[in-house]
Amino acid sequence: MKKVLVAGGAGFLGSHLCDRLLNRTDIEKLVVVDNLWTGREANISHIQDPRFHFVRSDVEELQTSDRFDEVYHLASPASPPWYMKEPKRTISANLIGAFRLLDLLKKGGRFCFTSSSEVYGDPLVSPQPESYKGQVDCTGPRSSYDESKRCTESLLFEMQRTQGLDLKIVRPFNVYGPRTRPDDGRAVSNFVAQALTGRPITVFGDGLQSRSWGYVDDIIDGFARYFWINETDYRGPLNVGNDREISVLEVAQYVSRLMGGIPIVFEPSPPHDPTNRRPDLTNANYVMPEWSCAISYEEGVEKTLDWFRQEMKIPAAELAQADSRRLATAGR
């Protein structure tokens, strides 16, 4: 029986991953460490499993006498306004967090890390294979996130090379869906929250920049297959995403139509906004041939809308805070 630690387990992706882990029968204890910076207790409050333990702490400071068979490192903000506001804290959560988590891994244990498609920066190659080195600015306003993901990958791959660490790294592409914070500030959650509160949908720039939007269930299914279900020697990094690339404007227009024609307004682009993003899934198809993204963005956006509708007792103060965070970073 295994002891498992999920850092960032009260977050959007982390909480969905915990739900999947708790379906396993070979786990005796699952500990979540989360400081509730971007994570929320509401994301895990449905879990009644006696194997589940929640520790509120920065991952870097986690104190425990347990040692773990599997560690999942998802402790990081992922939304630009959040990580741009607290870059030092973002770097620390990813990188110093990884150092702390390595200390808590049993000898021979498995370390799984969620990196990001942000390691490709503003890519000049499309779709992006894992071998693409990316176009990232290490002094730019997105660097706290991009470079800490890159550096944490370096740390872990070097631990694998020099000490044989059992390692798996994924690079998810623009994941959205239920349990995103209403004030997260990312495209789909903003559009849906705006539409549901009767505010105009904010498209940054001309909206022709594109992303590959991955519905959370599809992405978590990919994580589970790669991290523990499928037997594979491939240590990653592994792109996990939906390879249907759609412009931001198209998503905004879709949400607007669904909600009876909510107006769209154009606002200045955030700094260094990537123009495109699309995963090359050759390796994913090899490692998990039975996996593919089953949920179209139209279906996924509708599901997200339904979830937000249930949740939408969003306090106005949270939304106002989200707007001010965005304005604070827009000029950088």
Largest CA distance in the chain: 58
Q: Is 226 a catalytic residue?
A: no
Residue 270 is a binding residue for ligand UDP (CB under 6 A): yes
Q: How do 210-212 and 245-247 pair as beta strands? A: antiparallel
CA–CA dist 147, 138 (Å, integer): 6
Q: Which range in 22-30, 59-67, 94-102, 186-194 contacts ligand UDP by CB under 6 A?
A: 186-194
The site map against ligand UDP for 77-116 (x = CB under 6 A) is --xx------------------------------------
Binding mask 28-67 for ligand UDP (x = CB under 6 A): ----------------------------------------
Considering the rule CB under 6 A, would residue 202 count as an interface residue with ligand UDP?
yes
CB atoms within 10 A of CB 159: 17
Q: Is 174 in the site for ligand UDP (CB under 6 A)?
A: yes
The conformation of residue 11, written as its DSSP 8-state character, comes to S
**Number of residues near ligand UDP (by CB under 6 A):** 15
CA distance 83 to 87: 5
Binding status of residue 203 toward ligand UDP by CB under 6 A: yes
Helix, strand or coil, per DSSP, at residue 264: strand
Picking from 286, 269, 241, 239, the residue whose alpha carbon sits closest to that of residue 119 is: 239
The number of beta carbons lying within 10 Å of the beta carbon of residue 155 is 17
Q: Which stretch binds ligand UDP (CB under 6 A): 11-19, 22-30, 96-104, 196-204?
A: 196-204
Among the listed residues 83, 145, 215, 226, the single catalytic one is 145
Question: Which 3 state secondary structure label does DSSP give 157?
Answer: helix
Distance of CA 194 to the CA centre of its chain: 21
Distance CA(98)–CA(115), nearest Å, equals: 12
Residues 239-268 that bind ligand UDP (CB under 6 A): 248
Exactly one of 89, 211, 225, 278 binds ligand UDP (CB under 6 A); that residue is 211
Q: What is the 8-class DSSP label of residue 135? A: B
Name the token pair of 248.
């931001």
- Of 32 and 187, nearer to ligand UDP (C-beta) is 187
What residues act catalytically?
Answer: 145
- Residue numbers at the binding site for ligand UDP (CB under 6 A): 79-80, 174, 186-187, 190, 202-204, 209, 211, 248, 269-270, 273
